[in-house]
Amino acid sequence: MKDLRPILLVEDSMKDAELTMAALARCQLLNPVVHVRDGQEALDYLRSHGPYAGALHGGPVVVLLDLKLPKLNGLEVLAEIRGDALLKSTPVVMLTSSRQERDLVKSYDSGVNAFVVKPIDFNEFLEAVQELGMFWGVTNQPPPFVPTA
């Protein structure tokens, strides 16, 4: 049986976070969703530092990462993930409202697995997030988790 590792949602907008979590709940995914509000908190969670020290969460099945975040932006978080030997294979999806080509190009150049623009239409947003949840939570086989010492 596949491990039910969490989905890490990195989103500073409470409205967008609530919509995303509601859409994921509609899919009836069994994976827990962990929501953090800034880039530094995301790295603390991934590395089990700070308030997450000692937490053995199994590493996320996917990180849904916003671009515009406080403390560290999405591209900085992505660079930290890809530069960390224990995290570099973690799947990361940019889930952003940015439609700027430079953000798309920089994200792929930095090693993002997918770039999804948040649809403005409510139903399209729900559908897009549900598809992401089903693919990354059910269909995709995540890399094995290597616990930190």
| 103 belongs to a structural domain | yes
Which stretch, 11-15, 26-30, 122-126, 128-132, has highest mean pLDDT?
11-15
User: Would 149 be classed as within a structural domain?
Assistant: no
Cα separation of 147 and 149, whole Å? 7
pLDDT above 90 covers what percent of the chain? 60
Residue 30 lies in a domain: yes
Q: Does residue 145 lie within any of the structural domains?
A: no
What is residue 116's predicted lDDT score, i.e. its pLDDT? 93
What is the extent of the structural domain holding 109? 7-139
**Per the domain annotation, does 121 fall within a domain?**
yes
Instruction: Specify if 147 maps to a domain.
Output: no
Q: Is residue 74 part of a domain?
A: yes
Give the separation between CA 16 and CA 25, rounded to whole angstroms.
Answer: 14
Query: What is the tens place of the pLDDT at every residue in 47-68?
Result: 999 898 877 667 899 999 999 9
Residue 146 pLDDT > 70 = no
Q: How many domains does the chain have?
A: 1
Nearby residues of 2 by Cβ (< 8 Å), 6 or more positions away: 141
Q: CATH no. for residue 120?
A: 3.40.50.2300
Q: Is the pLDDT of residue 97 over 80?
A: yes
pTM, rounded to two decimals = 0.90
Cβ-proximal residues to 117 (8 Å cutoff; 6+ apart), any chain = 96, 97, 98, 99
Site of tokens 């929501």: 35
Tokens of residue 71, six digits:
């403390």
Report yes or no on 68 lying in a domain.
yes
